[in-house]
Structure 1
Amino acid sequence: MPTAPGEPPDPADPGRVTLSDPVVPGAVNLRDVGGLRAGTTMTRYGVLFRSGNLARLGAKGGKALATLGLRRIIDLRADDEVAREPSRIRGLDVVTQRVPLFLGSVDSFFRDDLSLDEMYRLIVDESSDGVVAVVRGILADQPALVHCTAGKDRTGVTVALTLAAAGVDADEVVADYARTEALLPARRNRYVVALIRSMHPRAVNVEDLVARSPAPVMQALLADIDERYGSAAEYLRTHGLADDEIAELRRVLLRDP
């Protein structure tokens, strides 16, 4: 979920990580989605990355990010978020693709006190063109990095739909989404929750919106997609992705069986 202006630098402890997680100082919630089961195969390493914003990359972080060999960075943040916290990727030879994924202001989600389920349904229903644009960006250049501010909600939903459409097992998609909760620094969470509560004291969903990525929420979203569209791939087809693009997505993301 987008954070508020003036958020302090993230502490050194990034939460629980795995050996496959790139170490990029200043980048929050950064990980490779390689190694996820997809039937008899798995997702490739070094093709698709996801993270929070890149506004706090110092010299070391920039050098570490460069080692990933990224060719495209897809930024899901709104214009005001980008203006407030621009990505520090100067000198990196990449295509930057902007796909603002919220219809409405970030503040409106706190003001309306939406649940995660409600927010994710809005993304799926009202930002389908953006989700398709992200998938096409991933197809255009690899390795690709998809990010928003915390890498939790917009990134979480978009990457989940992309992985599910490619044939990744549902429990693996859910587990990848749920990892975010352990990777967001506790100090950041306390600060942002306190700040948002000071602005919206009656809101009851603040902690969920700021810091949580519960597995049941993603399970429910994928089940809803299956019920309404048949599958994540059919969701993308319904909103304009062609059959050959879905086949290419599977070829790009998955290892040969």
Structure 2
Amino acid sequence: MSGASSGVNVPAQAPAVPGAVNLRDVGGLRAGSAVTRHGVLYRSGNLARLDEAGVSAFDALGIRRVIDLRADDEVSQAPSPLGSLDLQMQRAPLFLGSVESFFARDVSLAELYRLLVDDSASRVVDVVRGIVVDQPVLVHCTVGKDRTGVTVAVALAAAGVDTEEVVADYARTEAHLPQWRNAAVVAHLRRLHPGAQHLEDLATRSPAPVMRDLLEDIVRRYGSAADYLRANGLTDDELRELSRVLVAGGGEPPRFSG
């Protein structure tokens, strides 16, 4: 596992991994008087475009576990070329239904995130357990925005990271998505769903207010992100370990005091 951070609140630069989409380290986020460690938890979109140089650069990160949040059809269409690497591959499909169905139903990002928290709670816990078991660890889905955004946000919040730091990390995704990719995806989806109001948000955006509202809703309903995970099976020992591995000086998960 990585050593402690210097304590300066500087989010890590995106690792140079050719072919990776939205790959970044969540080190450098404030957690009270502490800070998240660099080189422990990474997040990204799918890794299907990694060539030989990309796989080599990925291997150099030392990642020991990759947690893939995609459904079976997504994995079969865009498999990760990591079979030659010595790491644990963990599947934790987070959508109960196809990606296409959310565009067809024209759900908002807020609705989608509430569905993820409510309907896929056991899988969110599985992801957090995977983060606790092995580090460095990568959590990814297809774009690294929604499924990855929600699970990483919950994990960070449960470890004691400041809410606005969690929100900022989520919002950072939008700037990491290539414009050529956004234009092609939106044009394709618009042909399929010409009247959809939420299409561009679902496909390309990560607005801070949506994540802030989600985290506030979790606090209203459960007490805290840590209590949400407790309610769905994560133990206090696991929560303490989550804080310990993610936060320099961590070890005690936050408790709701309101």
**Do they superpose with TM above 0.5?**
yes
C-alpha RMSD of the superposition: 0.9
- Match in the other structure for 2:149: 156
1:202, CA displacement in angstroms? 1.3
Matched, 1:25 2:18: yes
Cα distance in structure 2, aligned partners of 1:112 and 1:75 = 24
Deviations 1:27-64 (A, max 9, x none): 00000000100001000111100000000000111111
The amino acid of 2:217's aligned partner reads D
- Match in the other structure for 1:91: 84
User: In the TM superposition, what are the counterparts of 1:40-119 in structure 2 within 5 Å?
Assistant: 40-119=33-112
Cα distance in structure 2, aligned partners of 1:37 and 1:20 = 16
* Alignment match of 1:187 (pick from 177, 180, 189): 180
Cα distance in structure 1, aligned partners of 2:98 and 2:175 = 27
- Match in the other structure for 2:8: none
- Consecutive unaligned residues of structure 1, counting only runs of 5 or more, are 1-17
Cα distance in structure 2, aligned partners of 1:255 and 1:21 = 20
The amino acid of 2:227's aligned partner reads E
Deviations 1:99-130 (A, max 9, x none): 00000111100000000000000000000000
Cα distance in structure 1, aligned partners of 2:12 and 2:157 = 24
TM-score by length of 1: 0.92
- Match in the other structure for 2:162: 169
Matched, 1:236 2:229: yes
How many residues in Structure 1 have an aligned counterpart in Structure 2? 240
Cα distance in structure 1, aligned partners of 2:225 and 2:197 = 30
Higher relative contact order (CA 8 A, sep 6+): 1
Partner-residue secondary structure (3-state), 1:97: strand
The amino acid of 2:74's aligned partner reads E
Cα distance in structure 2, aligned partners of 1:48 and 1:162 = 10
Report if the CA contact (8 A) 2:172-2:206 is conserved: yes
- Match in the other structure for 2:28: 35
Cα distance in structure 1, aligned partners of 2:48 and 2:32 = 37
Report if the CA contact (8 A) 2:12-2:26 is conserved: no
Cα distance in structure 2, aligned partners of 1:256 and 1:148 = 30
User: In the TM superposition, what are the counterparts of 1:106-145 in structure 2 within 5 Å?
Assistant: 106-145=99-138
1:19, CA displacement in angstroms? 5.5
Deviations 1:202-247 (A, max 9, x none): 1111100000000000000001001000100000000000011101
- Consecutive unaligned residues of structure 2, counting only runs of 5 or more, are 1-10, 251-258
1:90, CA displacement in angstroms? 2.6
- Match in the other structure for 1:250: 243
Q: Percent identity?
A: 66
